[in-house]
Amino acid sequence: MSMLVTNIGELVTNDPELGPGPLGIVRDAALLVDGDRIGWVGTAAEGRDQAADDVYDVEGRCVVPGFVDSHTHLVFAGDRADEFAARMSGEPYTGGGIARTVAATRAATDDELLANLRRLVTELRSQGTTTVEVKSGYGLDVEQEARLLRIARRVTGETTYLGAHVVPPEYAQRRDEYVALVTGPMLEACAPHARWADVFCEPASPHAFDGDESAAVLGAAAAAGLGLRVHGNQLSAGPGVRLAVEHGAASVDHCTHLSDADVDALAGGTTVATLLPAVEFSTRSPYPPARRLLDAGVTVALATDCNPGSCYSSSMPFVIALAVREMGMTPGEALWAATAGGARALRRDDVGRIGHGARADLALLDAPSHLHLAYRPGVPTAHSL
């Protein structure tokens, strides 16, 4: 099946060879979808010569690459709205509430977890997201972590083993034993179901992992053949960024508190800095220094971090609006980071762009230009096609 999408007022390709600037914008454009791939991109006038089974006239609307949400925790049960309310009254976020979601998730059936996961995937797709990474991390024992990854695999190939989310309460006095479990039998059980491994590296939280523990997790995961990601520098300027760069992680996520050395390390390495400003919104925290990173030449991605604790939003358009309004990113930088940036954070070149051979993952905006994503915050402008 092929479909010509035509009368696109503004087409954002993220391919500088197709149009000016990093967004590679083509005006009055058309594109050909051939099966699940992009077969051709050009102007609407040129498109008249393209043979296609179907034609979809989008009447001057804007088409952008589907959003790549490279950081979520969508396999869970229950919610923690009460913690959100407490934070809005001044309580800090420490990660302590994760244990509540672990208890609820362990008690849930596979069907319940899958139904909740599918509900959230439908929710994010309806807002323009076409690629989603999903982490485990609310099981925290061998069987439960493997179960959560098997369930995540039902909706995405971008699955991440996060046995090192927090030290579960039953191991609080035996942290070494938990790290041994995460780097041994749990890793062995989970690796077949995961593409990536992640660790919540945060010495400022008594629940998360310090630099040495995190290095052990990353080393073992790499030896097991998994790609690496890190939750780093969320609550303090800890060792997360440095470790991520040293281990060649694809991405270090949060980056809320950064030293100059962290920014230099990111600028000199291959690790993407993934910013999650809906977390700062939902925890009433200062926003990450996006401008410092961009001005230093760091590759920046934007993602939701959708989870029941620190941020229960699945909306990439909301994240883009926050990045523009609160972190000083231009609308173009924010859109690039939410599409091409996310693709780089997942080391993918078939998503996050619209060009020949890319996946036909598109978002249609009920708007004439990508500026409307941040210009009309809270308005349901984007839909995946």
Binding site for ligand NIG (CB under 6 A): 73, 95, 97-98, 101, 200, 231, 234, 279, 305, 307-310
| Site for Fe ion, residues 267 to 306, rule: CB under 5 A | 305
Tokens of 28: 């009055």
Residue ranges of the annotated binding site for Fe(3+) are 71, 73, 231, 305
Name the CA radius of gyration of the chain, rounded. 21
What gap in Å lies between CA 219 and CA 228, rounded to an integer?
Answer: 9
Nearer CB in complex with ligand NIG: 40/200 = 200
Least gap, CB of 149 to ligand NIG (angstroms):
16
348 residue type, one letter: R
Nearer CB in complex with ligand NIG: 14/136 = 136
Position of minimal CB gap to Fe ion: 305
Nearer CB in complex with ligand NIG: 40/138 = 138
| Site for Fe ion, residues 295 to 354, rule: CB under 5 A | 305
What gap in Å lies between CA 298 and CA 268, rounded to an integer?
Answer: 8
Strands 382-384 and 362-365: antiparallel
What gap in Å lies between CA 308 and CA 138, rounded to an integer?
Answer: 11
66 residue type, one letter: G
Residue ranges of the annotated binding site for N-formimidoyl-L-glutamate are 138, 307, 309
Least gap, CB of 71 to ligand NIG (angstroms):
7
Residue ranges of the annotated binding site for 4-imidazolone-5-propanoate are 80, 138, 165, 234, 310
- Residue 95 site contact among ligand NIG, Fe ion, none (CB < 5 to 8 Å, cut-off depends on kind): ligand NIG
- Residue 310 site contact among ligand NIG, Fe ion, none (CB < 5 to 8 Å, cut-off depends on kind): ligand NIG
Nearer CB in complex with Fe ion: 10/305 = 305
User: Cα dist. 251→100, 139, 157, 191, 301 in Å?
Assistant: 27, 23, 17, 19, 9
Nearer CB in complex with ligand NIG: 63/98 = 98
SS (H, E, C) 160-214: EEEEECCCCHHHCCCHHHHHHHHHCHHHHHHHHHCCEEEEEECCCCCCCECHHHH
Least gap, CB of 234 to Fe ion (angstroms):
8
Residues that bind Fe ion (CB under 5 A): 305
